[in-house]
Structure 1
Amino acid sequence: MIKNYPKFSKVQLHQIIKTELLRVKILAFNSAQIAHDTATHKENIAENKYDTLGLEAAYLAYGQTQRVIECDQDIQLFENLKVKNFEEDTSINIGALVVLQYDESIQLLFISPCAGGAKIQYCDQEISLVTTTSPIGKQLLGKYKDDEIELVINGIKQTKQIIEVI
């Protein structure tokens, strides 16, 4: 296990991620409801062709409703993900918790089927969810512990070493 890191429980990690996905869905639902209420409020009935507040709120309500649907899909995808620990000879794929090191920094990434870019806190560590369609996800897919990946971030080439796959 990694020095100075707690023992990670994949079951707990999955539960925390599911809880975060549900929290995001609730926020999206509440935002959709507020936008819908704004769009249908009697004070927002257009008085002339330049009065577009109600129309704009309707577009926003539609977009927020689509976000709720996406959140439902994310939750379903994640619930179908089997919790498993990775062995030394198992390549990185969806469901892996990957620990990268570059310079003196450590980065924790969970290879997720959805919700790329989301961040969660677990065992006092920030873990970023990445999908296999993201640049870093594509690079990690199929790699093993002790492999290296190269990324260009803000025009700067970084080499990161995979120090743990959980």
Structure 2
Amino acid sequence: MDKFLLQQQVLERLAEDLERVEQAARAAHETATHEENIAENKYDTLGLEAAYLATGQARRAEAIRQAMAHWRQFRPHPYDTSRGIQLGALVCLTDADGKRQQLFLGPDGGSMTLGSGTQRVQVISGEAPLGRAVLGKCEGDEVSIQIGAIRQQFEVLWVQ
């Protein structure tokens, strides 16, 4: 599986998200500033609510722009067994039931599931609980995470 292709898919998905958020921010701003939405009394809050929404959407758009900048600068390196799993690694885990999952560790802001052919790859950051758990591990190592009251165990099958 090509890490560069995965990185490009993350950037494309973030660009799509940014476009949607910017459209929503513009619509909320237009609603907030439209003359028909000027408050006539203290209970008329449509304009105020739209302004809050526009502000939130603008913040979300900035967060996506930051994530895109990090992903553009990101350079995944080949797996180095002496360092173990690092950001940029493509990892295959298996659980106790034999169910496999593939992870691509990257910078913050790119948490999503991508398809590559018939395979699914979960993109996570090194700050995610599972991301933190696999950092520094090698093929054959056990990985354990606690999610609520449940402890999940995985084995690292392979790393690229």
Q: TM-score, normalising length from structure 1?
A: 0.88
The separation in 1 between residues aligned to 2:46 and 2:143, in whole angstroms, is 49
Report how far residue 47 of structure 1 moved.
Answer: 1.1
Residue segments in structure 2 that go unaligned for 5+ positions in a row: none
Q: In the alignment, what sits opposite 2:67?
A: 74
Q: In the alignment, what sits opposite 1:160?
A: 154
The separation in 1 between residues aligned to 2:19 and 2:50, in whole angstroms, is 19
> Where do 4+ consecutive residues of structure 1 move more than 6 Å?
none
C-alpha contact 1:115 1:129 (8 A) present in aligned 2: no
1:126 aligns with 2:120: yes
The separation in 1 between residues aligned to 2:158 and 2:82, in whole angstroms, is 12
The separation in 1 between residues aligned to 2:16 and 2:123, in whole angstroms, is 15
The separation in 2 between residues aligned to 1:121 and 1:42, in whole angstroms, is 46
The separation in 2 between residues aligned to 1:12 and 1:23, in whole angstroms, is 17
1:56 aligns with 2:59: no
Task: Give me the CA root mean square deviation.
Answer: 1.5
Q: In the alignment, what sits opposite 1:136?
A: 130
Q: TM-score, normalising length from structure 2?
A: 0.91
Residue segments in structure 1 that go unaligned for 5+ positions in a row: 1-7
Aligned residue type for 1:47 = E
The separation in 1 between residues aligned to 2:119 and 2:27, in whole angstroms, is 34
C-alpha contact 2:14 2:110 (8 A) present in aligned 1: no
Deviates more, 1:119-128 or 1:45-54: 119-128
The separation in 2 between residues aligned to 1:105 and 1:19, in whole angstroms, is 29
Q: Once the two structures are superposed, what CA deviation does each residue of 1:84-127 show, in whole Å capped at 9, x if it has no partner?
A: 33244441111111111011211111111112532222222222
Q: Percent identity?
A: 36
